[in-house]
Each structure stands twice: as C-alpha cells, then as structure tokens.
Chains A and B, each alone.
Chain A
Amino acid sequence: MVQKIDGDAYLSLENVVKSYGKIAVLSGVNMRIDKGEFVCILGNTGCGKSTLLKIMGGIEREERGEVIFQGIPMPRKNTAARQRRFGMVFQQDSLMEWRTVDENVRFPLEVFGLRDSRYLRRVDETLESVGLAKFRGLYPRELSGGMRQRVAIARALVHDPEVLFLDQPFDAVDAITRMTLSRELLKMWQSTLKTIVMITNSIEEALMLGGRIIILSDIPSSISSVFEVSIPFEERMGDLRKNRTFQLLRSEIRSTLDRQDQGGLDS
C-alpha cells in the first residue's frame, strides 16, 4: 500500500462521510490526488464509488468531512464559478436532444460565460480531437452510442477544466468502442497531463489507464487498498495482456475484490 502523505495535495478528501437515509454509504474516505495524476477508483457494484465521485465533483454534498481543492475547502454552494474548474462525464451521455453536437459542446461555455475567442476555438479543437468535427451539425438521436459518449467527453473538455471526473464513462458502449475510447482518453491525458479521476468496474480498464488504482471496500465504504501501476505509456497503448506487471496486478486486485465480496456475503 502506497499512500502519499507528504506535501500539499492538489485535490484531497478528508474523512468524507455520506449516507442516504439510514444507509451509510461512505464511512470516512481519505484521499489525496496530485496534479496531473490519472487515478482510477475500483470497487464492487453498489460500493458508493459514484457517490464518492459526485462529492468530489460537487454534485452531491458530503455529510461530514471536507473536500479540499488546491488547498482551499470547496465552497458549499453549487455555482457555475465553482463547477467551471471541473469537467464531468457520466455513464449516460446526458446530451440535450434539442441541441446539435456543436451546440451540446458549447453548452458549458454558455453556462460559464466563456465568450473568449480562445474558447470558441476550443469547440473546434475538442470536436476534432474526439473525431466529431464532421458530425457537428447532427442531433444526438442521429448518433450511435459511442459517438454520443464522444460528444459528452468533448463537452467535459471544452472549457479546459482543471480536473476531469469520469463516472464509468464507457459502460454504455460496445467492447470495441470501449477500447478505442480508452486509448483516446489515455492519449489525451498523455498530451495534456490533466488531472483525471475515473470510476470503473473493469480491472483491465483501470490498469490500462490509471497511474494509481484506489480500491473501495463495500458499503459503508472507505479505501481498502491502493495500487501503483508503473506501466509505461507505450506499453499501455499496445497489447497489455502479455505484460507481466499487468498480469500480476490484475490477479492481485481481483483477489482483493473477491475477498471483499466474500466478506460482504458473510456479514
């Protein structure tokens, strides 16, 4: 287990507690994320990982504890000024059916009041980077699931956020598209070194993308273990299944998750 404790973290959670009604979901989560890190959060279904991400991203409010971003506790009030620093992609693309691809991507700029020509250029750039420049005039219903999710990713990036939060972003797309989108995401991270926090339920995906993998225990959850993934970028882009580090970590993480599952059944 490796957990950085020295120095000021970029984004940190301190003893975050959350429950829905009588069900305790998070029982004191501590986490520190450095600038430019790609962190994957893994856990069994229903372990509260989405809730954790929503709290980090400002959609849900923590009951106790604190989210500290760049040394300052997150303001309690949900405002455009606060959310402007984050980009979020969800399991569902949540596109607005009445807006074309282009207009969907522009949405954050409208809400955040970013009328600078720099941002207008970014609309073209992000659409280009997710390979949708040609489809900018189409409505979401004319797109495939994979394309819709690309639009959602472009929307999360257009305002140049400081942190990108991804909540199981590729769950709704087919396996091949999932692979392609993962590669593109990794490439994007490599070239921009944006801080990315991603929830996933796939060990392989977490190993391919994450520099660090955080495992959550079952609810009421806290961090059960942390794995550093020291696989170079080039190897991640290739066939990882033959990679020794990948294989070792995969079986280790799998047994960790299995043990948790067992524990959950016993109690």
Chain B
Amino acid sequence: MSKNDFSIQEVFGGGLTEVAPVSELRVDGKKDEKLKKVLYPSILLAVLIVLWEVCVLAFGMPQTVLPSPFSVARALAVNFKSLILPELIFTLEIIAAGYTISVLAGFLLAALCSQSRLLARSAAPLAVMFMVTPTIILIPIFMVFLGFSPIVRIIVVVLQCVPIIMLNTLTGFMSIEPQQREMLAAHGCSRRQILTKFTIFNAMPQIFTGLKIGCVISTIAALGADFAMGKEGLGYRIKISSSMVAIDMVFATIIVAALVGIVMFEIVSFIERRVIVWKRGG
C-alpha cells in the first residue's frame, strides 16, 4: 500500500494487519512523518482561508451572504462568552452524557452478544438498522412523552451512538483467528482466561475504531437534536443566527461545533496510542 492511499482504515485505524512494517518506523523518519501530518493540513487550511478572504474582497461579497474569515473571527471573539459559550456548555453536556452512556451500553451489549453466536447473529442486523436510521427523526415521538427535557437529546445521541460502538466491539470480540483458537485450546484456557487474557486485547483496535466513530456520531446527533428541538444548544444558536442573517455568527458557531468533534476524536486517538503500544515500534 503506498503512502498516498488514504482510506477509512487510516483515519479510524484498521486491524493489526494494517500496521506499517518496522522499517517505516525508524526513529529518524518518525519525527518527520509526525511533523508532515500536522504541517501539510495546516498549510492547506491557511491557503484556503487566505483564498476565502481574497475571494470575498475581490468579488465584493456582501457580509450577509459570505462573511470574510476576518469578520467570522471577530464575531467569534466578540460573542463567544455571551452567546456561544452557554450553548457550547449545554451541547457538551448532552454529548458527554450521551457518549458515556453509549460507551458503557455498547460494551455491555457487545460483551453479552459475544457470549452466543446466535445472539450475535440476531442482534447485529438490528443494530445496523438503528445505525442507519437518523435518530433525530424520532424526536417528535420522544417529545410527546418528555417535552423539551434535555433527556430527549441524550436519548437521540445514545440511540445513534450505541449501535456503532457495539458493532465494532462485537466484531473485535468475535474475530479470533482459527490458529489462535487452537493455541488457546492447546493451553486449556478457561472461558474467563480467554476473555481477560486474549479477547479484550485482540479486540482493542476495533474497540477504538468504534469509540472514534462514536465521537463523530455523537457530535452530529447532538447538533441535529439542537436543530430539531431548538431552545438551547450550539445547533440552535446556528439556526437562530441564520434567521437573524448574522451569517458571521453562523460561521463562528459552526467552527466551535466542528472543534468539539475534532477535540473529542483527538482525545480518544491519544488514549488509543497509549493503550495499543504494541502496534508501534518499541
């Protein structure tokens, strides 16, 4: 596989087979690679921003259609504390609660299903069904019972997030190679030993793939719920700013919302690198 092949596996991290050979991880080359990973996208981003600014000036775009990056930055600086921060905190709380519940529930369900092939086979298609359904369309139903309670939003996040975490974890739990099964049988391992000494570690790459996609999904679901329910949240702030034609504020809030997802993803990736040490050199 060439270095320029950029696949889902590379973004979310594939299985153990996807790791680079030792030769590519020599210490001297490693720093360079790391720098390039940050530097190149940063340069591209800077170029795009400059291009954006230039276009706005050159074509005389009205601020109500496409604000310049500068005015977006100004809107962000001026309104962050008063208008964006409270909504950010609200949405963060929804995401944090939803994500935490999803991780716990996803693991629990995966562990349960992994105990029987029949259960795994029956549950997986249902999970897929939930996964592909945009759960914000269920909001009207939940609102009938719960009104404007934040619990509705948490439910939306959980319903969207649990299947993806569960499915990835379950795949990890179930994918033990036949030779490895024989090796475990050769040692007469008990069910518990197989789980605690083998399965959990073996599944780690897939578990983290689920956790990382979960970050993205929970952010999308929470923002979507804000849009649908209104009243509070980053999504609501975007909607309301848009209706007031404060487009610079729309952009400023979008940037904050995007950062939420990116930061979450990076935190989980950082933990992954700390946990799966065996995938890297030394």
Which residues on A are within 8 Å of B, measured CB to CB? 54, 57-59, 78-84, 86, 88, 90-92, 94, 96-99, 107-108, 110-112, 138-142
Let me know if A90 and B179 touch, CB within 8 A: yes
Contact for B278 among A83, A86, A91, A141, CB less than 8 A: A141
B180 within 8 A of A: yes
Contact of A97 with B179 at beta-carbon distance under 8 Å, contacts A80-B187, A80-B189, A111-B187 already known = no
Contact for B197 among A83, A88, A107, CB less than 8 A: A107
How far apart are the CA atoms of A88 and B179 in the complex, in Å? 12
Contact of A81 with B197 at beta-carbon distance under 8 Å, contacts A54-B182, A59-B182, A142-B282 already known = no
Let me know if A94 and B187 touch, CB within 8 A: no
Contact for B185 among A59, A98, A108, CB less than 8 A: A59
Q: How far is the CB of B117 from chain A (nearest CB, A)?
A: 18
How far apart are the CA atoms of A144 and B14 in the complex, in Å? 22
Let me know if A90 and B183 touch, CB within 8 A: yes
In the A-B complex, the 8 residue pairs with the smallest Cβ-Cβ separation, listed nearest first, are: A83-B188, A94-B183, A80-B188, A88-B186, A98-B201, A139-B278, A98-B278, A59-B185
A-B interface pairs (CB < 8 A), number? 70
Q: How far is the CB of A168 from chain B (nearest CB, A)?
A: 12
Q: How far is the CB of B202 from chain A (nearest CB, A)?
A: 8
How far apart are the CA atoms of A138 and B187 in the complex, in Å? 23
Q: How far is the CB of A101 from chain B (nearest CB, A)?
A: 12
Q: How far is the CB of B176 from chain A (nearest CB, A)?
A: 11
Let me know if A58 and B187 touch, CB within 8 A: no
Contact for A111 among B19, B197, B202, B276, CB less than 8 A: B197
B193 within 8 A of A: yes
B281 within 8 A of A: yes
Q: How far is the CB of B159 from chain A (nearest CB, A)?
A: 33
Let me know if B278 and A57 touch, CB within 8 A: no
Let me know if B278 and A84 touch, CB within 8 A: no
Q: How far is the CB of A208 from chain B (nearest CB, A)?
A: 25
Residues of A within 8 A of B276 (CB): 98
The contact sample of 22 A-B pairs, CB cut-off 8 A, is: A54-B182, A58-B185, A58-B188, A59-B186, A78-B188, A80-B189, A81-B188, A83-B185, A83-B186, A83-B187, A90-B182, A94-B183, A96-B198, A97-B16, A98-B276, A107-B197, A111-B187, A111-B193, A138-B282, A139-B278, A141-B19, A141-B279
Q: How far is the CB of A128 from chain B (nearest CB, A)?
A: 22
B190 within 8 A of A: yes
Residues of A within 8 A of B204 (CB): 98
Let me know if A111 and B278 touch, CB within 8 A: no
By beta carbon, the residue of chain B nearest A54 is B182
Residues of B within 8 A of A57 (CB): 186
Contact of A78 with B278 at beta-carbon distance under 8 Å, contacts A111-B193, A141-B19 already known = no
Q: For chain B residues 168-203, which have a beta carbon within 8 Å of chain A?
A: 179-180, 182-183, 185-190, 193, 197-198, 201-202
By beta carbon, the residue of chain B nearest A92 is B179
Residues of B within 8 A of A78 (CB): 185, 188
By beta carbon, the residue of chain A nearest B182 is A59
Contact of A111 with B189 at beta-carbon distance under 8 Å, contacts A141-B19, A142-B282 already known = yes
Let me know if B197 and A82 touch, CB within 8 A: no
How far apart are the CA atoms of A92 and B180 in the complex, in Å? 9
By beta carbon, the residue of chain B nearest A82 is B188
How far apart are the CA atoms of A97 and B282 in the complex, in Å? 12
Contact of A97 with B189 at beta-carbon distance under 8 Å, contacts A90-B182, A107-B197 already known = no
Contact of A142 with B281 at beta-carbon distance under 8 Å, contacts A88-B186, A111-B193 already known = yes
Let me know if A94 and B179 touch, CB within 8 A: yes
